[in-house]
Amino acid sequence: EAQVTQNPRYLITVTGKKLTVTCSQNMNHEYMSWYRQDPGLGLRQIYYSMNVEVTDKGDVPEGYKVSRKEKRNFPLILESPSPNQTSLYFCASSLRGNSPLHFGNGTRLTVT
């Protein structure tokens, strides 16, 4: 089944403890992206990648890192999480820019 898989679905952590949220797609998509969703702010793009080893900042990249070493994987790294990064995170992919986005089921992160 074609899908975007995020892990974990839920994560509770403490301030400053490095964490990684994984994202994998099995559709051979070139484009992948991370979003965060907060009440009243909608979905905001964090980082995106147009292909392997090509990444760029979205609208809210501060405090996050990403890597794209393989086409299928696009992990989101929080080196030193802070409470303001408590949010619902979505990974998405698309074949190319003229294709619809496919979203994962989300990761709910709580930083205390």
Partner 1 sequence: DAKTTQPPSMDCAEGRAANLPCNHSTISGNEYVYWYRQIHSQGPQYIIHGLKNNETNEMASLIITEDRKSSTLILPHATLRDTAVYYCIVRVRNNFNKFYFGSGTKLNVKP
Give residues in contact with partner 1 (CB under 8 A): 4, 31, 33, 37, 40, 42-43, 45, 48, 50, 56, 58, 88, 90, 92, 96-98, 100-106, 108
Of 12 and 14, which CB lies nearer to partner 1 in the complex structure? 12
Least separation in angstroms between residue 68's CB and partner 1 is: 13
Least separation in angstroms between residue 57's CB and partner 1 is: 9
Least separation in angstroms between residue 24's CB and partner 1 is: 14
| HEC-encoded secondary structure of 83-109 | HHHCEEEEEEEECCCCCCCEECCCEEE
- Is residue 67 within 8 Å of 81, Cβ to Cβ? no
Of 15 and 26, which CB lies nearer to partner 1 in the complex structure? 26
Of 14 and 41, which CB lies nearer to partner 1 in the complex structure? 41
| Side-chain-side CA neighbours of residue 10 (13 Å) | 0
Q: CA-CA distance, 27 to 6, in Å (whole number)?
A: 14
Q: Token pair for residue 44?
A: 């905001």
